[in-house]
Homo-oligomer: A and B are copies of this chain.
Amino acid sequence: MARKKTVKKATSRAKSTAKTGKRSKNGNPTATKEKIVALAESVLSHIDAAGNPSLNVPIRSLSNVSFNKRKRIIELGDGKANRPFFDLSNARRFMQTLLMSSELLKLQDQEKTTSIRDMFYHCKHTIEGTREETFNDQDESDPIIEDLEVTLRTLREELRVFANPDGAMVGPMVVRDRGDEIDLSRMGSGGWAVPSIVEPETIQFVKSKAKYVLLIEKAAVWARFNEDRFWESQKCMIIHGRGQPPRGVRRLCFRMVQELGLPLYVLVDNDPWGYYIYSVIKQGSINLAFESARMAVPTARFIGMSSYDAVEFDISPSVTIRMNDKDIARAKEIMAYPWFQDRRWQREIKHMLKLGVKLELEALSNKEFSFIADTYVPAKLKKGKWLD
């Protein structure tokens, strides 16, 4: 009964807030709030009808994920799981989902954003009259947030929560970030730190002279391109995401491609992990298939490094790295993914396996410090030597 009361409390709170719903200071639409409220109301109507309240949550496991060949993105299917409250195996997650919804609504009301870790702590408490915790650890709360993302058909960022921010960008563009106009061509050596949440309500593109976007895997390599003012001579944006780019960087690239019509080039190490980083940017990932449509960039181009580059650019064998068993296994795994079936990709990966070596972006420094920015990338672009 105590639990039922919690549900009622959360849902009635949700309803009363929805009534005063208005466009927020930051211009965030009320759409997300309304979705949360609608979810709560559907639960309430079940309760009022003395039924067994339940939630229909899209299934996020591999069984419900597929590669859409036409759209060229990884998509979630229509499979849903019913999560009834009066069910021993579901009651806890049901309670957690409702509690999380209610607290996410507060974020909407307060017009704040916060981290998924914060949400865990925010929602954690001992349930009155019991010794049970609402959440034991963050491994329990993160999936609930993801459940809500898919159930509400909303992005985590629209729910106003984020993981860790990371990445930086510079180039011939002016953006508005929470009202501040920032000239990204005057950002010195540091650059503009890419925020976690880059939705149109927060970040707007004010002016752009950029002709394309170059996404660079590593922060230190990005610093090379920035110091050489590559973005100035090439009229492009340069952005990094420190390895596998965080969602803010992916979403910003998506928006630049969609809204500004810019081509996106991806520059990664020549190893299976580099291929994978590229594929997540391009097709999305299996884990987060539900957000591909608003994160993935199917037109993204793999500018390098390719397993053919060592010979093409006369790179010393001294700076290649022999693949270990894990690398080889991963390369074979990647070669089997449906989205790597294009014959040029099969050729690329087979060639890496045949050579048996990896090549890091920094290896190009073996020639000249600026070889990568002065020679390598310009040559690739000029000759149209990329994979897509």
Q: Which of B187, B195, B219 contacts A189 (CB 8 A)?
A: B195
Interchain CB contact under 8 A, B177 and A121 = no
A115 within 8 A of B: yes
Chain B residues within an 8 Å CB radius of A193 = 168, 190-193
- If A187-B177, A187-B192 touch, does A224 touch B365 (CB 8 Å cutoff)? no
Write the A101-128 contact mask toward B (1 if CB under 8 angstroms, else 0). 0000011001011110111111011100
Min distance, Cβ A230 to any Cβ of chain B, angstroms: 13
Interchain CB contact under 8 A, A112 and B369 = yes
| Shortest Cβ distance from A110 into B: residue | B369
- Chain A, interface SS category: mixed
Q: Flag the segment in A66-74, A158-166, A349-357 that touches B.
A: A158-166
Q: How many copies of the polypeptide does the oligomer hold?
A: 2
Cα distance A181–B186 in the bound complex, in angstroms = 7
Interchain CB contact under 8 A, A124 and B318 = yes
- If A126-B318, A187-B177 touch, does A227 touch B112 (CB 8 Å cutoff)? yes
Chain B residues within an 8 Å CB radius of A319 = 121, 124
Interchain CB contact under 8 A, A114 and B365 = yes
Chain B residues within an 8 Å CB radius of A369 = 106-107, 110, 112, 114, 118, 122
- If A121-B319, A316-B125 touch, does A112 touch B190 (CB 8 Å cutoff)? no
| Shortest Cβ distance from A248 into B: residue | B190
Chain B residues within an 8 Å CB radius of A261 = none
Count residues of chain A with CB under 8 A from any CB of chain B.
63
Q: Which of B107, B180, B186, B219 contacts A188 (CB 8 A)?
A: B180
Chain B residues within an 8 Å CB radius of A165 = 168, 190, 219-220, 223
Interchain CB contact under 8 A, A117 and B362 = yes
Chain B residues within an 8 Å CB radius of A270 = none
Chain B residues within an 8 Å CB radius of A113 = 223, 227
Cα distance A176–B190 in the bound complex, in angstroms = 11
Write the A207-229 contact mask toward B (1 if CB under 8 angstroms, else 0). 00000000000011101100100
Interchain CB contact under 8 A, B223 and A125 = no
Write the A222-242 contact mask toward B (1 if CB under 8 angstroms, else 0). 011001000000000000001
A56 within 8 A of B: no
Interchain CB contact under 8 A, B121 and A360 = yes
Write the A30-55 contact mask toward B (1 if CB under 8 angstroms, else 0). 00000000000000000000000000
